[in-house]
Amino acid sequence: MTSEPGAGRIVLAGTPIGNAEDAPPRLAHLLRTADVVAAEDTRRLRRLCAALGVEPAGRVTSYHEHNEAGRSEDLVAAAAAGATVLLVTDAGMPSVSDPGFRVVAAAVEAGVRVSAAPGPSAVLAALAVSGLPTDRFCFEGFPPRRAGERAKALAALAGERRTMVFFEAPHRLPETLTAMAEAFGGDRPAAVCRELTKTHEEVRRGGLAELAAWTAGLARIGEVTLVVAGAVPVAADPADAVEEVLARVAAGERLKDAVAHVAASAGVPRRALYDAALVARR
């Protein structure tokens, strides 16, 4: 079931991550015209509105991690009744490590229209200035707070080839970078991006071990986004895959077919593996 044109809707709007001048004109328009404005922090919303010179015309309500389960139903009901419900967080895009996912899921379930008003993103801004590959990346959010859980989560990402983007609290930054250096290797390239778009914006690039040492004496202030290079694939040795090829041949598979299958799964050149298998059979 989908909503009819002209019916109510939920609009997720990106807000500035630091510099209020980054707010798109559409955000100001939505703040002026929405029937309901759901904000992660209504006090910060008022400050943003003052900076933009706008006054919300609709009802302003809070929507944060502690009340989103119950408040989602109310917001979806308002949209289903024909209202335009604007959802904003303190900074960046709703539902990206911020409240928003539950109301979207509830709206989709109810057949209520959901749209987005794109805006600033700490994830994309940090990725763009990091100097690391941007063709393929993944967003991992905040690492676990407990040391054991964090070490386990990072170990699972050690072989990830895509550039990784994380959020982290300033006071946990040194221990997180140290844990990353242990899991990924101290030489793994990374970038620490602090206070993006703000007056004291800083981007520090280097190996994880170097960055961990740098942050040890750093003031525990500023929003932090970490960008970490993906793992460099280790070239496999065709000789290591010959045994599997010979086992398949012994089981009745044609040598050519066995080589094709094993080469694809092991990531080795097919011709080199075929030649190695011929030598092993002699």
Residues 207 and 244 in one domain: no
Average pLDDT of the segment spanning 11-37: 94
Residues 66 and 167 in one domain: no
Average pLDDT of the segment spanning 3-11: 72
Angle at which helices 101-110 and 68-80 cross, to 10°? 40
Q: Does the pLDDT of residue 2 top 60, yes or no? A: no
Residues 110 and 15 in one domain: yes
Q: Is residue 27 part of a domain?
A: yes
Nearest to 75 by CA among 99, 92, 45, 50: 99
Q: Tell me, what CATH number does 174's domain have?
A: 3.30.950.10
Encode pLDDT of 60-78 as tens digits. 999 988 888 888 999 999 9
| Largest Cα–Cα separation, the chain | 84
Residues 36 and 85 in one domain: yes
Enter the pTM of the model. Answer: 0.78
Q: Give the structural domain span for 247.
A: 238-281
Q: Are residues 93 and 12 in contact, defined by beta-carbon separation less than 8 angstroms?
A: yes
Residues 52 and 100 in one domain: yes
Q: Is residue 156 part of a domain?
A: yes
Q: What is the pLDDT of residue 216?
A: 83
Among 85, 120, 155, the domain boundary falls at 120
Q: Are residues 201 and 223 in contact, defined by beta-carbon separation less than 8 angstroms?
A: no
**pLDDT grade for 5, boundaries at 50, 70 and 90:** very low
**pLDDT grade for 236, boundaries at 50, 70 and 90:** low
Residues 109 and 16 in one domain: yes
Q: Is residue 51 part of a domain?
A: yes
Among 95, 120, 145, the domain boundary falls at 120
Q: Is residue 4 part of a domain?
A: no
Residues 156 and 249 in one domain: no
Residues 185 and 152 in one domain: yes
**pLDDT grade for 181, boundaries at 50, 70 and 90:** very high
Q: Is residue 41 part of a domain?
A: yes
CA dihedral 127, 132, 138, 143 (to 10 degrees): -80
Q: Is residue 62 part of a domain?
A: yes
Distance CA 252, CA 95 (A): 53
Distance CA 153, CA 165 (A): 14
**pLDDT grade for 282, boundaries at 50, 70 and 90:** confident
Residues 186 and 128 in one domain: yes
Residues 162 and 148 in one domain: yes
Distance CA 140, CA 149 (A): 14
Among 91, 120, 149, the domain boundary falls at 120
Q: Is residue 69 part of a domain?
A: yes
Q: What is the pLDDT of residue 266?
A: 73
Q: Is residue 233 part of a domain?
A: no
Encode pLDDT of 119-128 as tens digits. 999 999 999 9
Q: What is the pLDDT of residue 66?
A: 85
Residues 128 and 223 in one domain: yes
**Dihedral sign, Cα of residue 133, residue 148, residue 174, residue 220:** positive
Q: Please give the single-letter amino acid code of residue 87.
A: L
Overall number of domains in the chain? 3
Residues 92 and 114 in one domain: yes
Angle at which helices 238-250 and 270-281 cross, to 10°? 60
Q: Provide the 10 A C-beta neighbour count for residue 253.
A: 14
Nearest to 44 by CA among 8, 85, 98: 98
Pick from 45-54, 142-151, 160-169, 213-222: least confident: 213-222
Q: What is the pLDDT of residue 232?
A: 82
Q: Are residues 179 and 150 in contact, defined by beta-carbon separation less than 8 angstroms?
A: yes
Average pLDDT of the segment spanning 127-146: 96
Distance CA 240, CA 75 (A): 58
